[in-house]
Amino acid sequence: MMSAPLASTSRYHLPLAMLASALVLSACGGTSVRQPAVLERIEQPEVTVERDWRSGRGPATNGYKLGLTATLHRDALFTADADGRVYALNRENGDVIWRADTDLALSGGPTVEGDQVLVGSRDAELVALSRADGSELWRTTVSSEVVAPPASNGETVIVRTVDGRVAALSAGDGSQLWATKRTVPPLTLRGLSAPVIVGRIVISGLETGRLVAQRLDDGEPVWTQAVSVPSGRSELERIADIDAPLLVEGSTLYAMSYGGDVAALDVYSGDVRWRRAIRTYSGGAVSEDGERLYVTDEEGSVWALETSNGAAAWKSEALSWRRLSAPAVHQGFVAVADFEGYVHYLSPENGRIVGRERPLGDRVDVMPLVAGSHLFLADVEGRVVALRAKAE
C-alpha cells in the first residue's frame, strides 16, 4: 500500500488517491467506497464558459504526485513536466515562447522571480533558467528530492526537500547560505507546500501539521505554530501534513492541513486569529473583496468562510468525492475543477452550481490561476486551457 522509501530518508509517502481510499475504507469498516457525486443537469445556467485556447505543454506528472505547477506572470505562463521540459507560453494564445530541456526528472516548480525560472528534480538538483529565453544560468545539488516549488525574492532561493530540510541558496549562483533540518513522521502524503517569503522571513508548512517562520538571513526561528495536532491510533490516522499552498493576504496567513484544520494566523507573530475544522490538501482562495475564504475539503465539499472569524457562510456538497482542485475566484464566481476535467462555477452567495464546462480530460491537481478575464487550468496529463466566463 505504501511506496518504497527514498534512499535519503526512512519516510513513506502515501499517494492521495490511495490515502483517500484507505481512510474511506477505515471509516466504513472496510466494506464500501464512496462514489463520486453524479452531476446534475443545470437547468438555467447563469454563466457561460468558453475556451480561448488549449495546449499540451502543461505540468504532466507521469502518474506521480509531484510539486509541478503552472506559474503566471505578466509576460508568460510558465510550466514544467516530469520529463524535464520547461515552457514559457504566450498567455493570449498558448503558443510556445521558449522551451528548455533540463534532462532531469522534474518534481517541483517552476517558480519565477526576477529574471529566473527555478525548477527542482527528483534527483536532488535545482536549476535556474533565464526567464527571457530558457537558457541555463546555474544548477546545484541539494540534500534530497525537491517536491515543492522553490521560493525566491530575487536574492535568496528557499528549497524544501523530502528529508525535512529547508535550505537557503544564493539566487546568483546557487551556493548554499544556510540549511535547517527537522524530523519528519514515518508516514506522510507525497508532497510539500511551497514555502513563502514575506519581507525578511520565510514560512514553511510541515508534515507535522506545524508552521515554522525563519529569518531569511540566517534561518534562525522567528515563531512556530501548530495548525493541526496529529491524533489517532495508527500512523495513517495521524497524518497531519500541510500540503496545500500557503496563502498570504496582507498581514494574514491562511494555512490548510490534512490533519483537519484551516487556520488564519498573523504573518509576523504566528498568533492564531481563528481556526476551523476542515481537512484539505488542495487549498483555498480569497474573494475579490477579501471578505471570504473559499476552501475545498477532502470529501469534495466547497466551503465559504468569513475571513474575519472563520464562520461558514455556506457549504456545498453537490460535488462530493469528485477530488476537487483548489478553488479560484473568476469573474465573480467560485470555480473548481474535478477528477474528470470538468470545471464547475458556483454562486458566491450560496454555493449553488450555476455553470459547468469540460475543457480537460483528467484530474486537475494544479492550483487554478486567474488573470483578468482568463482562468488557466492544467490537468495531470499536461493539458493547459485558458477559459473565459460570462454571466448570463
Q: What cell does 102 get? A: 533540463
| pLDDT category of residue 187 using cuts at 50, 70 and 90 | very low
pLDDT for residue 79 is more than 60: yes
Ranges 106-120, 203-217, 241-255, 360-374, most confident: 106-120
**Tell me, what's the pLDDT at 28?**
47
Average pLDDT over residues 60-64: 82
CB 263 within 8 Å of CB 242: no
**Tell me, what's the pLDDT at 5?**
30
Number of neighbouring beta carbons within 10 Å of residue 277: 11
Residue 154 backbone class (left: φ over 0; alpha: ψ -120 to 50; beta: rest): left
Average pLDDT over residues 164-172: 95
* Percentage of the chain exceeding pLDDT 90: 73
| pLDDT category of residue 237 using cuts at 50, 70 and 90 | low
**Tell me, what's the pLDDT at 31?**
47
Q: What cell does 166 get? A: 529547508
Q: Which of 36, 77, 34, 30 is nearest to 58 (CA)?
A: 77
Fill in the amino acid letter for 302: V
Average pLDDT over residues 314-327: 97
**Tell me, what's the pLDDT at 7?**
32
Ranges 57-66, 101-110, 239-248, most confident: 101-110
Cα–Cα distance for residue pair 358/343, rounded to 1 Å: 6
Cα–Cα distance for residue pair 92/334, rounded to 1 Å: 22
CB 111 within 8 Å of CB 118: yes
Instruction: Tell me how far CA of residue 229 lies from CA of 195, 237, 244, 268, 285, in angstroms.
Output: 20, 11, 16, 22, 24
Residue 251 backbone class (left: φ over 0; alpha: ψ -120 to 50; beta: rest): alpha
Average pLDDT over residues 145-159: 95
Average pLDDT over residues 24-37: 62
Q: What cell does 82 get? A: 516530469
**Tell me, what's the pLDDT at 3?**
32
Ranges 155-169, 175-189, 226-240, most confident: 155-169
pLDDT for residue 342 is more than 60: yes
| pLDDT category of residue 25 using cuts at 50, 70 and 90 | very low
Cell 520529463 found at: 83
From 1-10, 160-169, 198-207, the region with the lowest mean pLDDT: 1-10
Q: What cell does 229 get? A: 495536532
Cα–Cα distance for residue pair 255/232, rounded to 1 Å: 21
SS (H, E, C) 274-285: EEECCCCCCEEE
Number of neighbouring beta carbons within 10 Å of residue 141: 12
Q: Which of 206, 185, 184 is nearest to 194 (CA)?
A: 206
pLDDT for residue 16 is more than 90: no
DSSP assigned state of 190: S
SS3 of the chain: helix, strand, coil, percent, to 5: 5, 45, 55
pLDDT for residue 8 is more than 70: no
**Tell me, what's the pLDDT at 210?**
87
**Tell me, what's the pLDDT at 1?**
29
**Tell me, what's the pLDDT at 10?**
39
For residue 21, the SS3 value is helix
**Tell me, what's the pLDDT at 227?**
87
**Tell me, what's the pLDDT at 64?**
77
**Tell me, what's the pLDDT at 257?**
86
Query: Could you tell me where the beta strands, DSSP code E, fall in 347-383?
Result: 353-357, 369-371, 374-378
**Long-range contacts of residues 336-341, Cβ cutoff 8 Å, at least 24 apart:** 336/296, 336/302, 336/368, 337/364, 337/368, 337/377, 337/379, 338/36, 338/300, 338/363, 338/364, 339/36, 339/363, 339/364, 341/379
| pLDDT category of residue 392 using cuts at 50, 70 and 90 | confident
For residue 19, the SS3 value is helix
Higher model confidence: residue 77 or residue 8?
A: 77
From 4-8, 83-87, 135-139, the region with the lowest mean pLDDT: 4-8
Q: What is the DSSP string of 192-248?
A: -PPPEEETTEEEEE-TTSEEEEEETTT--EEEEEES----SSSTTTT-----SPPEE
Instruction: Tell me how far CA of residue 364 lies from CA of 60, 303, 314, in angstroms.
Output: 11, 19, 24
Average pLDDT over residues 270-283: 92
Q: What is the mean pLDDT of the chain?
A: 88
Q: Which helix (H) or strand (E) holds 18?
A: helix 16-27
Fill in the amino acid letter for 371: A
Cα–Cα distance for residue pair 363/370, rounded to 1 Å: 19
pLDDT for residue 47 is more than 60: yes
Cell 471570504 found at: 292
From 174-188, 321-335, 345-359, the region with the lowest mean pLDDT: 174-188
Cell 525548477 found at: 119
| pLDDT category of residue 35 using cuts at 50, 70 and 90 | very high
